[in-house]
Amino acid sequence: MIKQLSGHSLITNYQLSIVNCLQGWSPILFLLYLLLSLPVVAQEASDTVSAVVLDSETREPVPYANVYVSPACGTISNYDGEFVLQCLPSDALRITSIGYQKFVARASELPDTVLMKPTSTTMRELTVLGADDVLSRLVRKMQKEAKKHSRETGNYFFRVTTKYPGTDELAEAFMSAKSCTQLRDLVFHSGTHGLLKDAQNSSVFDSDLKGLGSTNLHIFLRLAPISLYYGMWDSAILPSDIVMSRNGKLYDVSYALFLDDEGNEIHKIHVEGKPASSRYNILEGTLYVDYKRLRLLRFDGQMRGLFLRIYDNARRRITIDSISYTMHIDYRHDHGFTEVANMSGTIAKEKVNLRYILFNLGEREMAFNRRVRVESNMLQAIAKAGYDSTLWATTDIVKRTKAEERVAFGDSAFLQHSRSNYDLAPSRQEAGANAYLRNAVQSLTGSAMQLHRGLPPSSTPETSTSTKRKKVLTIRP
């Protein structure tokens, strides 16, 4: 006689009645029946999917599009519009980018090329000079959020590539930062560098280049259109100044309103410096605001008034030229405040090109063993944090471009446990330079590039910021 088990038994009353009817069966047949009657649970195996995101009309790549499955599973497309993601075949991928209709598909049905359709339902356009009610209310709201969530921290994946004659460089790192409204208090947990030199394309002028010895690129990670913690940017003119200071008079403001594919009214607020602002460090661009929920969704912009200073050790010569700096920020709001989600930027001047990308890791579980706070040299902080292979053991966080792969696989020291393949000590020429140059190129190797802000004349009446607080910003390869 078979006795019924208590609790969650796999042998049910129904099965007992059948067994009673089959008492004459042989033990083998009886066991076979039991095996066939037990529930079968299939484990769905994860898979790696990849695609390239293109504009459906121009067929141009859509960089930094958000690819979302869950808070712990997602990525963004790289500069070339490519992405790779590990997920289940049944998972639904939602691909979004401001200005495009969202694209949704199951992982098992994802095409190799995702064509994003531009949003074209413009409602009306108007031009407004001076402060705007929407921007004013947005800044006030973000001020309250910053006060309430000032200690909130996000984890990020960071990548920077540098290209100049004969040399390509790549650095990757895992980091964290206070993330409400803008990034602050940057801490690196693990990172690695790579350098690839091309002797055939190196000229005599470039022969003394030894790689990106140091950089304070991290100051650009702290830059935001609505800045409440200025730091190095305390004398820059930002879109938030339209509400917070008299510097806002240096902006022209225009609007375009449109509906996204879910019917939400999006305000496209474009801020541009007036001719009188040409002597200032001024951040221009476009803010995308969800009007109903009063949320900043995205900012695309550029800063004027920045200069590239190159110091060549071999010739002991300095050249100064203005540069082009463009930036992009996506924001998220699922934690109850405005948080930096993704960020990217490009610094370009003729033969020199520097590009970075920052991606919020969301709810991914990350085991960080090291904490190195950034001071003046970002690459030195990455080197001190060291390389933790376990953090790179999973699939790519953000897919590398072909040019980035070339460096990653071309430099054998890129994914190694070594501290760094850079010599961070100053050269003899730098050590013997005069006080001005020593301050500008301290801790540099080979060549130095510094980025500084043009200082407006102290007699200019429109600026409300004292020139005494003006600081020098430097990027020093």
Token couple for 349: 């001047």
Residues 163 and 91 occupy one common structural domain:
no
Handedness of CA 384, 385, 389, 392 (dihedral sign): negative
Residues 80 and 146 occupy one common structural domain:
no
Residues 99 and 242 occupy one common structural domain:
no
- Residue 305 · residue 150 · CB < 8 Å: no
Angle at 372 between CA 337 and CA 217, to 5 degrees: 70
Range of the domain at 111: 47-116
Tell me the pLDDT of the chain (477 aa) as tens digits: 333 333 333 333 434 344 444 455 565 655 555 555 555 444 566 788 999 999 999 999 999 999 999 988 999 999 999 999 999 999 999 999 998 999 999 999 999 999 999 886 555 554 444 346 888 899 999 999 999 999 999 999 999 998 877 778 889 999 999 999 999 999 999 998 887 766 444 443 343 344 555 577 888 999 999 988 777 788 889 998 888 887 778 898 888 888 887 888 888 899 999 988 888 889 999 999 998 899 999 999 999 878 766 555 445 666 677 788 999 999 999 999 999 999 999 988 777 788 999 999 998 888 898 999 988 788 889 889 998 888 877 656 899 998 888 887 776 666 654 333 333 444 444 344 333 333 433 333 233 333 333 333 333 333 333 333 333 444 444
Give SS3 for 242: helix
Residues 425 and 342 occupy one common structural domain:
yes
Instruction: Give the pLDDT confidence score for residue 322 in this predicted structure.
Output: 77
Residues 402 and 310 occupy one common structural domain:
yes
Residue 477 in domain: no
Instruction: Give the pLDDT confidence score for residue 277 in this predicted structure.
Output: 83
Instruction: Give the pLDDT confidence score for residue 323 in this predicted structure.
Output: 80
Give SS3 for 451: strand
Instruction: Give the pLDDT confidence score for residue 272 in this predicted structure.
Output: 93
Residues 284 and 371 occupy one common structural domain:
yes
Q: How far is CA 82 from the centre of its chain?
A: 15
Last residue of a domain, one of 55, 85, 116: 116
Report the half-sphere exposure of 146 (CA within 13 A, side-chain side): 15
Amino acid found at 407: V
CA distance 345 to 350: 16
Residue 474 in domain: no
Task: Report the chain's C-alpha Rg in angstroms.
Answer: 28
CA distance 402 to 405: 5
Give SS3 for 147: helix
Residue 476 in domain: no
Residue matched to tokens 């050249």: 319
Residue 263 in domain: yes
